[in-house]
Chain A
Amino acid sequence: MHDQTLLPKLFRTEYRNIVSVLSYLFGIEHIEIAEDLVSDTFLSATELWSIQGVPENPKAWLYTVAKNKTKNYLKRNTLFEKKLSPEIKYSADKTEEIELDLSVKNIADSQLAMIFTVCNPTNSTESQIALALNLLCGFGIQEIADAFLTNKEVVYKRINRAKEKLKETNIKIQQPTLQEINDRLDTVLKTLYLLFSEGYYSTSQDTILRKDLCSEAMRLSIVLIENEATNTPAINALFALMCFHSSRFEARMNDNGEAVLYQDQNDSLWDKELIETGTVYLNRASTGHVISKYHLEAGIAYWHTQKEDTREKWENILSLYNNLLILEYSPIAALNRTFALSKTNGKEEAILEALKLNLADNPFYYSLLGNLYSDIDNKKAVQYFETALKFSNSAIDKQTISKNIQRLTNG
């Protein structure tokens, strides 16, 4: 009886490895050939394994078949072979054929090259993420559609348009040069951060899918960390941030599928190992002179892994939010900063600051005011919460706000 989940699992992990190496070999113009060869390989696996049984080393089997199919393809297409980049063309003297290099090192190098290809600012960030999920993470079109809460056609078009754009701009899939790393690492980090956020903040009910998105973002971050040229403090900070957030995955939703707020979470469900790992990487990130916004967010996330409500915790969080806002304004950071201020300097002062924020259409703004006025002026608090309800678009948030109103009106 063979395991029905084996091939899908292998597809998820090996598709991207083989596609990366093949794309590296063929270039972006022929990426469909790379994809076809790999799909063909998995098709063979599906057909043959159901008859012959699963081989002893399934991964090695896949790699061997992929190599053979590639060899055959190149033999049949000598014209195509001549167009391959000079470095991989074999000279007339060599009688060996081109061997597909699926070594650990070449897979890692190809992945790195692909990351920089996929995270190209010529495409929108949505397209970059979709392409990343498809080519770098082995997600199928339907899975990506589920992740984005959209339909297959939209995703299909988005990915194809993104590939076309890359072909138009004649992108080379290659090891990023130092210049490219300097210019594009920001975009790469942003894309990985957004990929992670898709999983972490997604309102989709499919928990497994959401966890997959997060772990893919983390895996790709490690690819960057393990390559000396791209191992910057910022990527270490970003990875630390992802660890800290992920540590609370189990505690964020209760058995009824309702969101559990941070202050109500059962911290015994927090993953201590992930917290420790995050701390290690945060320390590694604390080298050099540049503080990126990921450093600040990771610092804030670190303090949130300490559940106890100490003065030190909130003073640090306030200071980190101050620095984050000075670096880059965002309404959420402004609101969270004001909340931290209420913890260090009291609600009255925080209310004065909050009223200066001017975030008129933002439901979280009214929630914050409702929260700050609670137990100071409950009538005002309820009014603000009701305004928050009006502006909120999220069923989960509305639930939370309604609970707050209930609590205040029942005394």
Chain B
Amino acid sequence: MNEFLIVIHRDLKSEDASPSPEQMQQAIKPFQDWVGGIAAQNKLANPPKRWDLDGRVVKQNNVVTNGPYAEIKESVGGLFIIKAADYDEAVEIAKGCPIIKWGATVEVRMATPAV
């Protein structure tokens, strides 16, 4: 069993972003069902948190700007950690994210042992 990071990227800034705020609202229950299903399989490493849309970005020379990190239209929306046997299994789980159909992208990364 390995730990995998599930990162949901989506446009947090544009006015005509997809998923739209209405679509995000509709996605609340499907999202809960998705994560609940992962938890039912005892594969959720810890409860997901919700992250604000405020954000700061810190660069070198002490430059600090407002806003979530979004060089392009794909900021970090949500993220959580699951347990899965391998990338294939983790990807299957990731495919259950209910807002992929509206343009969100899910990144999957495997944990390596901390040094």
Contacts and interface: CB of A to CB of B under 8 A. Distances in A.
Given A319-B32, A321-B36, A357 B41 contact: yes
A325 to B, nearest CB: 4
Contacts of A326: 35-36, 39, 44, 47-48
A337 B34 CA distance: 12
Interface string B28-49: 0100110111011110100110
A319 B32 CA distance: 7
A180 to B, nearest CB: 27
Nearest to A334: B40
Contacts of B39: 322, 325-326, 329, 334
A353 interface: yes
A338 B33 CA distance: 11
A358 interface: yes
Nearest to A331: B42
Interface of A: 318-319, 321-323, 325-327, 329, 333-334, 337-338, 353, 356-358
Given A319-B29, A326-B47, A327-B47, A334 B42 contact: yes
11 contacts: A322-B33, A322-B35, A323-B36, A325-B40, A326-B47, A329-B40, A337-B36, A353-B40, A356-B37, A356-B41, A357-B40
A333 B39 CA distance: 10
A358 B1 CA distance: 14
Contacts, number: 43
The interface centre, meaning the residue of B32, B35, B36, B37 with most chain A CB atoms within 10 A of its CB, is B36
Chain B interface main SS type: helix
A318 B33 CA distance: 8
A355 to B, nearest CB: 10
A379 to B, nearest CB: 26
Chain A interface main SS type: helix
A356 B36 CA distance: 13
Contacts of A333: 40
A77 B16 CA distance: 85
The interface centre, meaning the residue of A322, A353, A356 with most chain B CB atoms within 10 A of its CB, is A322
Given A319-B29, A326-B47, A327-B47, A334 B41 contact: yes
A289 B45 CA distance: 23
A329 B44 contact: yes
Given A323-B32, A325-B39, A326-B47, 9 more contacts: A318-B33, A321-B36, A322-B33, A322-B36, A323-B36, A327-B47, A329-B39, A337-B36, A357-B41
Identify the 6 closest CB pairs spanning chains A and B, nearest first: A322-B36, A325-B39, A334-B40, A326-B39, A329-B42, A326-B47
Contacts of B40: 325, 329, 333-334, 337-338, 353, 356-357
